[in-house]
Amino acid sequence: MNKKTFLKKIKEYYANNIALMERKNKDYTGDKKDSAFRAFELVEFLGICSVEKGIVVRMCDKISRLATLLDDDARVLDEKIGDTLDDIANYSMILKAFLEQKTAK
């Protein structure tokens, strides 16, 4: 793959991930103007761990799944390796955004 094709593909991935993030965030937070991190803030509210660590746990779940999928075919047919990679990328951006808003306060 040449550099031009590579960069075009990466732009497509990011555009798709933004659309995925919008859909999933709406599913987890609803249409209210609540925090975009509401689903992750629940772990802190319940005294399980910090929001940051909650996001990292979800990333670890996806990394574990990725390691398995690299060795074996998926048993859940509607989530492939690409979907798992998208989730890892999105959790990374969620954590980045959370940390930025936390330090901005």
Q: Which domain holds residue 70?
A: 3-104
Give the pLDDT confidence score for residue 97 in this predicted structure. Answer: 95
Give the pLDDT confidence score for residue 99 in this predicted structure. Answer: 96
Structure token pair of residue 19: 């659309």
Total domains in the chain come to: 1
Is the pLDDT assigned to residue 45 strictly greater than 90? Answer: yes
Give the pLDDT confidence score for residue 85 in this predicted structure. Answer: 95
End-to-end alpha carbon distance in the chain: 43
Q: For 47-102, write each residue's pLDDT tens digit.
A: 999 999 999 999 999 999 999 888 876 666 667 889 999 999 999 999 999 999 98
Using only the alpha carbons of the chain, give its radius of gyration. Answer: 16
Give the whole-angstrom CA distance, residue 90 versus residue 44: 20
Nearest C-alpha neighbor of 86 from the set 21, 37, 30: 21
